[in-house]
Structure 1
Amino acid sequence: MYIALVAIILVVCFFLAIVVLAQNPKGGGLSSQFGAGGAANLMGVKRTGDLLEKLTWGLAVGVIVLTLATHMIGGGSNGPVRSVNQQAAQKAGASTAPAAPATQPSAVPAPAPQPAK
């Protein structure tokens, strides 16, 4: 399920990028390059702009919702295991206490070297 949601997120992001590039900013944009110039004349520039803006907002909200869904399905902060080190740490168990140092530091300072005579 997690992989399917990630695949859907990638598809939605692709469509979001296409819709954003197709919009007509103040300078012209790519909408005329992909044949949307004829659609703008047919439907009217204002209506095409409104449609692209609504698609942009809808796809952006869709990405956010799908991302939150992957977080919920993935188990929150534990999430799917992505590395060998994470797997080893989970197998070892998080409840084990760190080992104490083998040697205790000595309280007696080491003697200073004597100058040569």
Structure 2
Amino acid sequence: MLTVFIVLICIITVLLILVVLIQNSKGGGLSGEFGGIGSNQLMGVKKTTDLLEQITWGLAIGIMVLTLASYVLVDRSGTGATINSANVDAAASKTVPGAGLQAPAQRPAAGAQQTPAAAPKADSAAK
């Protein structure tokens, strides 16, 4: 069903582009390009412009309605969100090189290191 909405949106979008390109902002548009005087006698410039404007608004509203309807139809449950790929499965089962190694223990700085023999000498001198 969602695919049908997407196809309809694409078709309406192409039609909207064509209708907008046919229009002329100065009022000539379709009546001036196709037939000149003959089209003026058939519909008139004002009627052609009004018709193209109504078609433009109708197609634009149609795109908006179909877009909102497709948003409502999208399945947002967690079941359809899984990715089935051989690469994803291989990456999940592969171990990272060096993951089993532990980092070496932190050593204190060289200046802060005291030997155990130096501490008793300071205590005996104080007495």
3-state DSSP of counterpart to 2:109: coil
**Percent of aligned positions that are identical:** 44
3-state DSSP of counterpart to 1:87: coil
Q: Shift in Å at residue 76 of structure 1?
A: 5.4
Matches of 2:35 and 2:63 in 1, distance apart? 25
**How many residues were matched structurally?**
93
TM-score normalized by the length of structure 2:
0.57
TM-score normalized by the length of structure 1:
0.61
1:18-65 deviation digits (Å, cap 9, x = unpaired):
110111212855x344x2644345211100000000000000000000
The gaps in structure 1 that reach 5 residues or longer are: 89-108
3-state DSSP of counterpart to 2:13: helix
Q: Shift in Å at residue 75 of structure 1?
A: 2.9
Q: Is the 8 A contact 2:27 2:49 kept in 1?
A: no
- Rg larger in structure: 2
3-state DSSP of counterpart to 1:9: helix
Matches of 1:73 and 1:64 in 2, distance apart? 14
* Residues 1:112 and 2:109 are matched in the alignment: yes
Change (3 A) 1:41 1:76: farther
Aligned-residue CA RMSD (Å)? 3.5
The gaps in structure 2 that reach 5 residues or longer are: 85-105, 112-127
